[in-house]
Structure 1
Amino acid sequence: MKKLVLATALALAPLGAWAEGVVHKVAVHVNDGDPRVLNMALNNVQNVTKYYESQGDTVEVEVVAYGPGLVMFLDGKSPVADRISTMALENDHLKFSACGNTLRKMSEKAGKDVPLMSEASVVPSGVVRLIELQEQGFSYVRP
């Protein structure tokens, strides 16, 4: 009976859970340009990453910004640019995604292309990206 229970537990465990820990997935939603909110989002990323790494697990995090929150990734205007650059260098499992809809509207309003920080990648829609991540099993966090 003990062998059957162990075999069942091994079969039901997430892939890699026994050897290397669990992989957690977190989507962080940022649609507010207040520097306190931007810093809180980055604090959440650091705290979650630190906690899971202390447990021997891995955490994949994607920060998705749109609307007023896109200021987070604006080259030369982001109040958290230094933190983003440092965090991107320190964490291979961290992605920053900028809403293409918001970026296009900002560029139209400015009459020129609005540059993003090199750490950010453009996705067609921030809202759609958050939906996709949740459908892929990412947990949703909004600071």
Structure 2
Amino acid sequence: MSQRPWQLRFWAALLIGLICTGALAAGNPDKPFAEKHVVLQISDPDPFKQTLVLNVAANLVKHYGPDKVDIEIVAFGPGLRLLLEENANAGRIDNLVDSASVRFSACENTLSKFTQNLGREPELNAHATHVSAGVVRILDLIDEGYTLIKP
């Protein structure tokens, strides 16, 4: 049985409306029920700022719950130090990944510069995902409907 033309128009309009409002935004497929999508920027070498960005992520998870908030922390420039293997915050990063599936992205442009300056590639935290450029990753996430927060 075929649908009437008005039914097809209704469903098409509904789908377009959902897409336009961001209700079908890509987001993280591992977080299908997330109501908030947040990208946190860390581009500062200051350990206080690195701790602050992790505190913000933890506070968001505490407030919304791990299934209702989708968080990605993007590190570039001097902020990449947060994702170095020997960073003092490695345990907190492990906890955020394990308890709330927070994602961590490391800028390959910055990693390349670190490698050039050190004469070897630094070891990154096992949870760090390489992205070609941190700023581009942030812009792409904003285009997907994420809210940028730079603590």
Assess same fold via TM > 0.5: yes
Q: Which residue of 1 aligns with 2:139?
A: 131
Runs of at least 4 residues off by over 6 Å: none
Number of matched pairs: 126
Q: Which residue of 2 aligns with 1:3?
A: none
User: Counterparts of 1:72 and 1:48 in 2: how far apart (Å)?
Assistant: 19
User: Counterparts of 1:113 and 1:86 in 2: how far apart (Å)?
Assistant: 25
Give TM-score, length-normalised by structure 2: 0.76
Question: Post-superposition shift, 1:22?
Answer: 5.2
Alignment of structure 1 residues 98-137 onto 2, 5 Å: 98-137=106-145
**Letter of the 1:72 counterpart:** L
Task: List runs of 5+ in structure 1 lacking aligned partners.
Answer: 1-7
Q: Which residue of 2 aligns with 1:70?
A: 80
Q: Which residue of 2 aligns with 1:96?
A: 104
Aligned-pair identity (%): 34
Question: Post-superposition shift, 1:23?
Answer: 2.1
User: Counterparts of 1:110 and 1:21 in 2: how far apart (Å)?
Assistant: 42
Q: 1:36 aligns with which of 48, 54, 62?
A: 48
1:142 has 2:147 as partner: no
Task: List runs of 5+ in structure 2 lacking aligned partners.
Answer: 1-13, 25-31
